[in-house]
């Protein structure tokens, strides 16, 4: 069986079970917040979105298709640095730690891409 199809099936099943355990209605309500204008007013919410999506743009093609998008690392370096500021505002130490690690990854990949 194709590895991509296996991945897709396992991912759909895993997320379906997880959402059912957590509560589909609660999760959908959280997603609906993304459509609310008030959600985007605080700068750190917009910053979080750009930061996480830029990481997803790097991670997903890299892990699934072995494609490196080196040109995205300068953006993740900047957004991770700014997300540390946003995380401190929201009181999320795990995001501060993760983004500190991601800064190191971004710098490494920028250096590798330049050499």
Same domain, 60 and 11: no
If pLDDT is split at 50, 70 and 90, which confidence band does 16 have? Answer: very high
Are 108 and 81 found together in one domain?
yes
One domain for residues 57 and 8: no
Q: Which two tokens stand for residue 95?
A: 């995001």
- What's the whole-number mean pLDDT along residues 47-67? 84
In this predicted structure, what is the pLDDT of residue 60? 82
Question: Which domain, by its residues, includes 20?
Answer: 1-33
Strand (E) or helix (H) holding 49: helix 43-65
Mean pLDDT to the nearest integer, 94-108: 79
Q: Which helix (DSSP H) or strand (DSSP E) does residue 104 occupy? A: helix 93-114
Q: Are residues 19 and 62 in the same domain?
A: no
For the chain, how far is it from start to end, CA to CA, in angstroms? Answer: 38
Task: Return the sign of the alpha-carbon dihedral for residues 33, 35, 41, 43.
Answer: positive
Instruction: Give the three-state DSSP class for 34.
Output: coil
Q: How far is CA 63 from CA 7, 14, 68, 73, in A?
A: 11, 18, 9, 15
């Amino acid at each position: 069986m194709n590895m991509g199809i296996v991945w897709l099936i396992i991912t759909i099943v895993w997320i379906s079970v997880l959402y059912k355990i957590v509560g589909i209605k609660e999760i959908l309500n959280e997603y609906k917040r993304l459509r609310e204008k008030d959600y985007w007013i605080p700068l750190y919410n917009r910053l979080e979105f750009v930061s996480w999506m830029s990481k997803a743009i790097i991670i997903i093609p890299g892990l699934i298709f072995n494609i490196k998008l080196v040109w995205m690392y300068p953006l993740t370096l900047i957004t991770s640095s700014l997300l540390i500021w946003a995380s401190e505002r929201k009181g999320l130490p795990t995001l501060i730690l993760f983004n500190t690690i991601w800064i190191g990854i971004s710098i490494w990949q920028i250096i590798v891409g330049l050499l």
